[in-house]
Amino acid sequence: MRRHWMRKTFKFLLIAAVAVGVLSFVVMSLWNWLMPTLFGRPLITYWQALGLLILTRILLGGFHGRPGPPPLHWRRRIMERWEQMTPEERERFRQGLKGSGPFGSRSEPEQ
């Protein structure tokens, strides 16, 4: 039983190390291909690319699991609310949505 656990741990660590190595190489290659040409930035080494990945993880993602509900939890709540509405409430809701959105009402503007 202990050997099985150790083998799985070693396998996971090996796959993680290879993934980090490949990802660092991809970041370095993309940076060195795009940044000097587009923005006049200097070339970076493999280790600088790895440091850049770690820095972005710290600043943007952290090293903890994602708190809160699963990503599509909101959809289930909306569906539950929709099922509890009467037909009149559903129609009123649809009418309220017609004038909303990033572009406003779909009808022609009044002059």
Write out the H or E segment, with its range, that includes residue 22.
helix 2-39
Segment of 22-31, 55-64, 74-83, 97-106 carrying the highest mean pLDDT: 22-31
Its pTM stands at: 0.52
What average pLDDT score do residues 28-38 get? 93
Write out the H or E segment, with its range, that includes residue 75.
helix 73-84
Report the alpha-carbon distance of residue 111 to residue 109 in Å, rounded.
6
Nearest to 90 by CA among 99, 98, 80, 82: 82
Structural domain spans, the chain: 2-61
Residue 70 has pLDDT above 80, yes or no: no
What average pLDDT score do residues 1-5 get? 77
Contacts of residue 48, defined as CB under 8 A and 6 or more positions apart, other chains included, come to 28
User: Distance of CA 97 to CAs 93, 102, 105, Å?
Assistant: 6, 11, 9
Identity at 61, one-letter amino acid code: G
Report the alpha-carbon distance of residue 11 to residue 107 in Å, rounded.
60
